[in-house]
Amino acid sequence: MKMGSALLALAAAFACCPAAYAGHQYYDGEVSIYLPGRGAAGTLNVARRSADPNAQIGCTIKYGVPTSTYPYPGLTQVYVTCVARNSQGRVDCISVDPAVIDIARTIVPTSFVAFSANESGLCVRLSVSNDSAYLP
């Protein structure tokens, strides 16, 4: 009878209480753009679910002739373009640097991406964080 009482008490405990969740979760809000510094940051999945219809952040790796004049106009090459936008504006950059291209290849739907551009529109910083804290 003691085993039956213990099982009944355990079942009652599980039935009465909501599930507990553990693990650090980071909600970074909306896509952030800093126009004077030509920088941007945000999480892809947050941008996707944003109330801001203009929210977007990410990078694309391409092969071909870039539409910009950087770095070698008319030359077919591998390059990366990063873009972020929200209702406040848009920041984008381009790079043929193999290290920047390799970093861009690590972006997944739950990545936190931060980048900045110089006055010429060249990517001078790209940071990608793939962390459990950014999962939906």
Residues 25-50 pLDDT 10s: 665 568 999 999 999 999 998 888 88
Which of 8-22, 36-50, 67-81 is the most confident on average?
Answer: 36-50
SS3 24: coil
Confidence of residue 10 (pLDDT cuts 50, 70, 90): very low
More confident residue, 4 or 135: 135
CA–CA distance, 33 with 31 (Å, rounded to integer): 7
The pair of structure tokens assigned to 135 is 């999962």
HSE toward the beta carbon, residue 30, CA cutoff 13 A: 13
What's the rounded mean pLDDT across residues 77-99? 94
More confident residue, 21 or 131: 131
Model pLDDT, residue 22: 53
Model pLDDT, residue 104: 98
Q: C-alpha distances in angstroms, 107 versus 18, 97, 103?
A: 34, 16, 8
Model pLDDT, residue 135: 66
More confident residue, 24 or 53: 53
Residue 3, pLDDT above cutoff 60: no
CA–CA distance, 14 with 45 (Å, rounded to integer): 32
Rounded to the nearest 10°, the torsion over CA 94, 95, 100, 106 is 50
